[in-house]
């Protein structure tokens, strides 16, 4: 009875761990969850009190619940059945494929992360690089139906676009972005999901994936989630505003119910004195492809240089960044007038082009590239009602600042002449001015 009994160490560990796990799950866990839930509710209350467009309940759903809702949506189940019949795979296999797509697409929005960290970080990061200005805000943009779903339609100049717009509209709404495959890298993917962004695959993919993505976009739009899309489908390689690729816009169009919640598209034009990825984009345009990747060592070196300049007290390292907000387009009103999908894309991108602000560097680059004085170029831009966001000191200050940035970038030499190897980069920065002038370009 009193003999020593040997028990394996792993069994002792199990005997102590299991009760501990049970205690955490049944006793401590509920209290912890209650604490964080109450804290989240207080944060949401404060945030919604100051937002013009409240955070919709759909956006706050648990990610797993949203995945299930998307997966078992009738339209998705129909697509699964069609995919199984077309490919000859069992229905269960097709359903698991759709589940994988749903988990890949659906975000996991965190209000605490978005408003507690992301918007503050966006403001701080923008302030490190740029002097941020708003070029123009159409009067109609201030009086949008509060029940409508707002979709910001933007040109894609830089990966800073996400940061800049997140900050600029942080007092009005929490934006859900459509993000490409480049961001599906851990831990970046976790952070982006927490901001409410959803991942999309570019290029041609099977019909099942497109149906799952389309249904998610339609669901989130119908629930009133504020979104931002880049219809060009990628960063501009030329510096111009490109034509719209109708993917996401076509999904919104197909799922729109004129009797339900309206969808209002707000055109946004973005401009920079310095595009961080300029050399990569120009090289990609020269090579005729869209695949480009910044060398890691180069990125680290540039980050170190920026940190040293910032430590030395320098602000606005890359000049000015600006955004212009154009005339909103109500989808309900547009369809009632007999408009079609292709016309919608042309209209939206035309309005985006119209409100892209002209800054000092593009202005001087256009002047140098076209061989005309800055004053003459400004006069022609005023004739076409271009949005000018120049320094308060007038044209003399604008020209001085523009030339200083172009010289620091290595596009102009000390005498103000264009370096031969930098002609493509000069054209990249002059492109927005040329495009805004249209047929009046002074070639």
Q: Check whether residue 336 and residue 413 sit in a common domain.
A: no
Shared-domain flag, residues 261 and 382: no
Strands (E), 96-175: 131-137, 149-154
Q: Verify that 377 and 343 share a domain, yes or no.
A: no
Q: What is the CATH number of the domain that holds 344?
A: 3.40.1130.10
The tokens for 309 are 């300049």
Residue 78 is assigned to a structural domain of this protein? no
**In a shared domain, residues 418 and 380:** yes
Distance (Å, whole) CA 381 – CA 433 = 8
Final residue of a domain: which of 298, 331, 353?
353
In-domain check, residue 148: yes
Cα dihedral across residues 41, 42, 45, 48: positive or negative: negative
Residues 217-238: pLDDT tens digits?
999 999 999 999 999 988 999 9
Rounded Cα distance between 420 and 328, Å, is 43
pLDDT tens-place string over residues 149-185: 999 999 999 988 988 888 888 878 888 888 876 666 6
| 169, two tokens | 């509209």
What is the H or E stretch that residue 70 is in?
helix 63-71
Q: Are residues 240 and 133 in the same domain?
A: yes
Q: Give pLDDT, residue 441.
A: 47
Instruction: Work out the percent of the chain whose per-residue pLDDT is above 70.
Output: 77
User: Is the same domain home to 158 and 254?
Assistant: yes
Tens of pLDDT, residues 371-424:
999 999 999 999 999 999 999 888 999 999 999 999 988 999 988 899 999 999
Q: What are phi and psi of 367, to 5 degrees?
A: -60, -45
pTM value? Answer: 0.84
Our count of domains for the chain comes to 2
Residue 228, domain member (yes or no): yes
Tokens of 356: 């892209």
- Domain of residue 433 covers 360-440
Q: When comparing pLDDT for 396 and 201, which is higher?
A: 396
Query: Residue 199: CB partners within 8 Å, gap ≥ 6?
Result: 104, 105, 179, 180, 181, 183, 184, 189, 192
Per the domain annotation, does 91 fall within a domain? no
In this structure, the answer to whether residues 322 and 429 fall within a common structural domain is no
Cα dihedral value 270, 359, 172, 339, nearest 10: -50
Q: Is residue 297 part of a domain?
A: no
Q: How many CA atoms lie within 13 A of 387 on its CB side?
A: 23
Same domain, yes or no: 332 and 403: no
Domain membership flag for residue 286: no
Cis (ω within 30 of 0) for the bond into 187? yes
In a domain, 301, yes or no: no
Residues 246 and 387 reside in one and the same domain:
no
Q: Note the pLDDT tens digit of each residue in 38-84.
A: 665 566 566 666 667 777 777 777 888 899 999 999 999 999 999 99
Query: Are 118 and 250 in a shared domain?
Result: yes
**Among the three residues 353, 375, 407, which one is the final residue of a domain in this structure?**
353
Let me know whether 331 and 393 are in one domain: no
The tens digit of pLDDT for each residue in 90-131 reads 999 999 999 999 998 998 888 778 887 888 888 888 888 888
Contact by Cβ (8 Å): 313, 399: no
Q: Give the CA distances from residue 361 to residues 161, 213, 385, 404, in Å, rounded to whole numbers and listed in that order.
A: 18, 39, 19, 9
């Amino acid at each position: 009875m009193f003999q020593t009994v040997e028990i394996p160490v792993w069994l002792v560990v199990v005997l102590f761990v299991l009760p501990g796990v049970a205690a955490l799950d049944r006793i401590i866990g509920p209290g912890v969850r209650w604490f964080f839930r109450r804290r989240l509710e207080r944060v949401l209350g404060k945030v919604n009190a100051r937002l013009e467009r409240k955070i919709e309940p759909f956006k706050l759903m648990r990610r797993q619940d949203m995945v299930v809702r998307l997966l078992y949506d009738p339209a998705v189940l129909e697509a699964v059945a069609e995919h199984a019949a077309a490919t000859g795979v069992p229905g269960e296999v097709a359903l698991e494929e759709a589940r994988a797509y749903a988990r890949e697409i659906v975000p996991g929005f965190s209000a605490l992360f978005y408003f507690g960290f992301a918007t503050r970080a966006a403001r701080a990061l923008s302030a490190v690089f740029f002097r941020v200005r708003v070029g123009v805000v159409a009067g109609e943009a201030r009086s949008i139906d509060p029940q409508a779903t707002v979709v910001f339609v933007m040109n894609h100049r830089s990966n800073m676009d996400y940061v800049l717009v997140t900050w600029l509209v942080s007092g009005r709404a929490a934006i859900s972005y459509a993000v490409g495959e480049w961001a599906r890298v851990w831990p970046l993917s976790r952070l982006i999901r927490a901001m409410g962004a959803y991942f999309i695959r570019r290029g041609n993919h099977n019909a099942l994936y497109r149906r799952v993505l389309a249904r998610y976009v339609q669901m989130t739009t119908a629930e009133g989630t504020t979104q931002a899309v880049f219809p060009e489908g990628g960063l501009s390689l030329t510096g111009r505003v490109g034509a719209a690729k109708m993917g996401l816009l076509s999904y919104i169009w197909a799922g729109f119910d004129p009797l339900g919640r309206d969808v209002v598209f707000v055109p946004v034009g973005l401009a920079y004195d310095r595009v961080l990825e300029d050399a990569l984009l120009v090289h990609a345009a020269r090579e005729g492809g869209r695949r480009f990747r910044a060398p890691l060592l180069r990125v680290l070196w540039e980050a170190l240089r920026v940190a040293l300049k910032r430590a030395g007290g320098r602000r606005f390292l890359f000049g000015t960044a600006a955004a212009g907000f154009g005339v909103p387009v109500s989808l309900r009103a547009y369809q009632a007038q007999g408009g079609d999908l292709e016309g919608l894309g042309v209209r939206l991108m035309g309005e985006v082009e119209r409100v892209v602000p002209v800054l000092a560097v593009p202005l001087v680059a256009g002047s140098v590239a076209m061989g005309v004085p800055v004053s003459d170029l400004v006069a022609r831009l005023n004739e076409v009602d271009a949005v000018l966001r120049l320094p308060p000191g007038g044209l003399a200050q604008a020209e001085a600042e523009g030339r200083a940035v172009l010289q620091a970038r290595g596009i102009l030499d000390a005498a103000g002449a264009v370096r031969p190897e930098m002609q493509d980069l000069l054209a990249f920065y002059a492109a927005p001015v040329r495009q805004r002038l249209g047929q009046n370009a002074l070639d």
